[in-house]
Structure 1
Amino acid sequence: MAARRSPATTAAASSAPDETVEPQGAPVRQRDLVAGLDKGLQVIEAFDQERPRLTISEVAARTGLTRAAARRYLLTLCHLGFASQDRKLFALTAKVLRLSQSYMHSARLPRIVQPELMKLSRELKEASSAGVLDGSDVLCVAATSAGRAISSTLQPGTRVPAWCTANGRVLLAAWPQEAVQEWIAQQALQPRTPQTLTDPQRLAAEIEQVRERGHAAVDQEFEPGLRTVSVPLLNFRGETVAALNVSVHASRMEMDELQEAALPPLRQAQAHLRQIL
């Protein structure tokens, strides 16, 4: 008859090495990382709105891979249905949307924020969106247009530069000012419109003011005709986890009118979401 194992022995046996979870915030060991997955995702990220079709050499240049490695990853993506090939050019297929759908259907943030966006849209009859910081960009995770065609960037999955957008400045304002200045120094501050603020010192000062007043207001700096007001979304610990905005077309509303109309409901949404984030 086999000897019975004690509860302690059973627990120890069930804690297999591959099931060990590192404490939150602990550095990840290199041996625990899958380099192939990392590089494959880099290849997918190499494609964007400006470069929807790329050659093997262009993918290699944008990812830092060798040409041979880039070729293998692209052929693998084609085999799996995530990319297509037309002679020397490669492009992503609609199957890549499965990756974003997995996030949108499972992540807590978009599901919690979307109802608040709908309330703002019904009250103000203007577009509203929420975004998170991703490198140098703001990634839109939820949005509603209120039936108005304002900007193609106001939809989930789109990316916009953080430094010249209201959501971006709100998210950057959550950092210490020294970190903000270091981040600005790494950006290519090319003007998007005649109103775009491109001076690094003035931009840093503007983000500092955003931190002090608790909201950002951007008047046609990112896109002509687009005016936006944004506030940070805080969790119950007071940490900034996202940004929430209201956007209008300049022909319909002046900047001071937008702030007067949009800030009170934005503050209400901010307070409500802080209780559940």
Structure 2
Amino acid sequence: MSAFHPSAPATVSSDATVELQRRDWIAGLEKGLAMIEVFDAEHSRMTATEVAQRCGLTRTAARRHLLTLAHLGYVDTDGKLFWLTPRILRLGQAYLDSARLPRAVQPYLQRVTSGTGETAFAAVLDHDEVVYIARSGSQRQLNTGYMLGSRVQAHVTAAGMAILGGMGSVYRDAWLQLQTLRPFTSHTVMDKEALRQSIVRARDQGWAISEQQLEVNFRGIAVPLYDHNDSLLGAMSVTMPMNNETAEVAVKRILPVLQDTARAMRPML
């Protein structure tokens, strides 16, 4: 199981997580993956020209990459527009199937759900976003919250704040400097100093709470997840409607279950 360790800048890419020498870099692979990543909710179907503009490639190069992806089954086309196919999900599923953390954390998330009656999640940090890699909840609850693989800006989630709080100040300050804060609700924190103070608070108290930062009337409470070597792996959180429950009552009800479960998990990770 791999823990999060901020690495030094790589030779090829400044935000890479593994150092790479120029001679080992395969440009075509990088461009193909970048092409997949430019598709999103606002750009679900694009021409080769549009993909080229978003990837910084020529139209000819983008078209060749898209046709190769289409040949492999990851992209479909009507001759003008291109879009992703369900085969893309194999890439994300490969992580969920092969990584140890999603499988190891699942029974503990079920324990949190049983103890709180709320939907529980496990998340890891991927640059400026958290990615939800496991979840547990009743059928009634599964229509709320994040789906497996959901990616959300880290600073608007309790899980993200808990992870950032668990990191060193050098990484945390560098991370904050690179962020462009944007509002998701009228409550979203837009001041970097205020955000830094919230992250430091999460570090000092060992847990994080996020209220209405991403969605109105929703609250999240999270604790960082460490392995038996004290390496930070991610975070475990509960997300729930605020309703008429105060933050103090919610923390008293949810936090002990999260903390006890995280402690029980630690020797097993």
**Alignment TM-score > 0.5, same fold:** yes
CA distance in 2, matches of 1:265, 1:202: 28
Equivalent pair of 1:144/1:154 in contact (CA under 8 Å): no
Deviation of 1:258 (Å): 1.7
CA distance in 2, matches of 1:50, 1:128: 29
- Cross-structure match for 2:184: 192
Equivalent pair of 2:145/2:239 in contact (CA under 8 Å): no
Q: Which moved more, 1:107-116 or 1:117-126?
A: 117-126
Report the structure number with the largest CA radius of gyration. 1
Determine if the alignment matches structure 1 residue 43 to structure 2 residue 51: no
TM-score (ref. length: structure 2): 0.88
- Cross-structure match for 2:8: none
- Cross-structure match for 2:83: 91
CA distance in 1, matches of 2:159, 2:78: 38
**Pairs within 5 Å for 1:50-129:** 50-129=42-121
Equivalent pair of 2:119/2:145 in contact (CA under 8 Å): no
Equivalent pair of 1:215/1:232 in contact (CA under 8 Å): yes
TM-score (ref. length: structure 1): 0.85
The count of residues paired between Structure 1 and Structure 2 equals 253
CA distance in 1, matches of 2:250, 2:266: 23
SS in 2 for 1:198: coil
Q: Aligned-residue CA RMSD in angstroms? A: 1.9
Determine if the alignment matches structure 1 residue 176 to structure 2 residue 164: no
Determine if the alignment matches structure 1 residue 275 to structure 2 residue 267: yes
CA distance in 2, matches of 1:143, 1:216: 18
SS in 1 for 2:122: strand
Q: 1:26 to 1:132 in 2, by over 3 A?
A: closer
- Write the letter of the residue equivalent to 2:42: E
Determine if the alignment matches structure 1 residue 213 to structure 2 residue 205: yes
Determine if the alignment matches structure 1 residue 254 to structure 2 residue 246: yes
Deviation of 1:153 (Å): 5.0
Determine if the alignment matches structure 1 residue 245 to structure 2 residue 237: yes
SS in 2 for 1:163: helix
CA distance in 1, matches of 2:179, 2:18: 29
CA distance in 2, matches of 1:160, 1:151: 17
CA distance in 2, matches of 1:58, 1:258: 47
Equivalent pair of 1:184/1:204 in contact (CA under 8 Å): yes
Equivalent pair of 2:228/2:268 in contact (CA under 8 Å): yes
Determine if the alignment matches structure 1 residue 162 to structure 2 residue 125: no
Equivalent pair of 1:144/1:155 in contact (CA under 8 Å): no
Deviation of 1:59 (Å): 1.9
- In the alignment, structure 1 segments of 5+ residues that lack a partner are 1-24
Q: 1:27 to 1:221 in 2, by over 3 A?
A: closer
Deviation of 1:232 (Å): 0.3
CA distance in 2, matches of 1:214, 1:117: 19
Q: 1:50 to 1:215 in 2, by over 3 A?
A: farther
CA distance in 2, matches of 1:144, 1:26: 32
Q: Which moved more, 1:251-260 or 1:153-162?
A: 251-260
Determine which structure has greater relative contact order: mean sequence separation of CA pairs < 8 Å that are 6+ residues apart, divided by chain length: 2
Q: Deviations over 1:74-127 (max 9, x none)?
A: 111111111111343211100111111211111100000111111111221111
